[in-house]
Amino acid sequence: MPQSDSSDVIVVGAGVVGAACAHYAARAGLSVTVIDRGPVAGGTTGAGEGNLLVSDKEPGPELELALVSTLLWRELTDALPAAVEYEAKGGLVVAADAAGADALRAFAARQAAAGVTALDVPADRLRDLEPHLAPGLAGGVHYPQDAQVQPALAAAHLLRAAGGRVRVRTGEPVTAVLTGPGGAVRGVRTPAGAVHAPYLVNAAGTWGGDVARLAGARLPVLPRRGFVLVTEPLPRVVRHKVYAADYVTDVASGSAALQTSAVVEGTPAGPVLIGASRERVGFDRTLSTEALRRLAAGATALFPVLRTVRATRTYAGFRPYLPDHLPAIGPDPHVPGLLHACGHEGAGIGLAPATGALIAALLTGDRPPVDPGPFTPGRFAGVTA
């Protein structure tokens, strides 16, 4: 039977960013309806590794957002169940040669000036942190602020922790955005009926461009595919998130071609997660044996002990990519009542709390946790997806 409903805010997207937007809006006293065409965390969030990173970010707006999120994740996990598997394990970035180590130290020095804790690790001390690392590496940097959560559980518990102010409607694709005088948002329509609200938060991740178009707006979000290899359960052979220094370069690249860099981390449940690959191939989920071959080769080069370990499965996900590698967070310049919270690429899980807090502040007029200026969706005027 068709339903009619109303709230203060509608959030489209039940991934971790949408969950965080709903959570903080509810904490600010607003009623929220979260709508997703699939289940909670059924898109990019469910395909993520759960990384909460500062180590891979250049000084600037994204790092500021990440540092705020680092503090907020710690606050949240004090209140959320242990099931979210928050683990403050830290990150270790390693360099293969002297030139790479020098570049890594220079990068870390710039980060340290911006508030990141970055500890130089000489070559002969790397195995103190990771006993199974390959010999011959030139050095590394230890980032104690890096952490990890189980992303799907984190999204679900963020929604639950908001209490009765948040209602979740899954399995309902948004088919239209309802507007009033001057094109202002008045709600959305789904196959189950209309949902009314004066504000709409587009937290649809990789599909954020589609939601924007329904509202008569434009946001140039594109999918960037990545694969993760998952091993059989193991004793804790990898203690930190460990990755090669070229990962930072790949994250910042706008190339559409296949790029891989070694990223290896253990989990509380035992399996080791192996990444990372990036390529822009639309929403093609076809298994790439070349990507998987490169991931396996990179992981075993860092941790030779993994050469005899079975990979039990692999999965693909799509990172929501924007051309300047910054998320779009804030009001749309052309559609009154429409706010965007998407385009975080591979950092959405880590950046979710600060994004949610920023959206809530913009909705209520409270003081924002970071300067919203660099994230304004209006910066993409004239850019097409």
Q: Are residues 293 and 355 in the same domain?
A: no
Please give the pLDDT value at position 26.
Answer: 98
Strand partners, 199: 9
Share above pLDDT 90 across residues of the chain, in percent, rounded to a whole number: 86
| Number of folded domains that form the chain | 3
Report whether 52 contacts 27 (CB < 8 A): no
Is the per-residue pLDDT at 4 higher than 90? no
Q: Are residues 266 and 133 in the same domain?
A: no
Average pLDDT over residues 66-88: 90
Is the per-residue pLDDT at 24 higher than 70? yes
Q: Residue 42 sits in which domain range?
A: 3-50+152-219+324-380
> How far is the CA of 228 from the CAs of 52, 95, 262, 310, 333, in angstroms?
17, 22, 11, 14, 37
Q: Are residues 235 and 105 in the same domain?
A: no
Q: Is residue 334 part of a domain?
A: yes
Unique residue bearing structure tokens 């518990």: 157
Q: Is residue 67 part of a domain?
A: no
Nearest in space to 146 (alpha carbons), one of 66, 226, 244: 66
> How far is the CA of 330 from the CAs of 176, 259, 375, in angstroms?
21, 31, 7
Helix (H, G, I), strand (E, B) or coil at 121: strand
* pLDDT tens-digit map of 127-174: 999 999 999 999 999 999 999 999 999 999 999 998 899 999 999 999
Average pLDDT over residues 262-290: 91
Q: Which residues of 37-59 are buried (b: 16+ CB within 10 A; e: fewer)?
A: beebbbbbbbbbbbbbbbbbbee
Average pLDDT over residues 170-195: 96
Unique residue bearing structure tokens 């929501």: 320
Q: Are residues 234 and 315 in the same domain?
A: yes
* pLDDT tens-digit map of 40-75: 999 999 998 889 999 999 999 999 999 999 999 999
Cis amide bond preceding 276, omega within 30: yes
Q: Is residue 38 part of a domain?
A: yes
Please give the pLDDT value at position 268.
Answer: 84
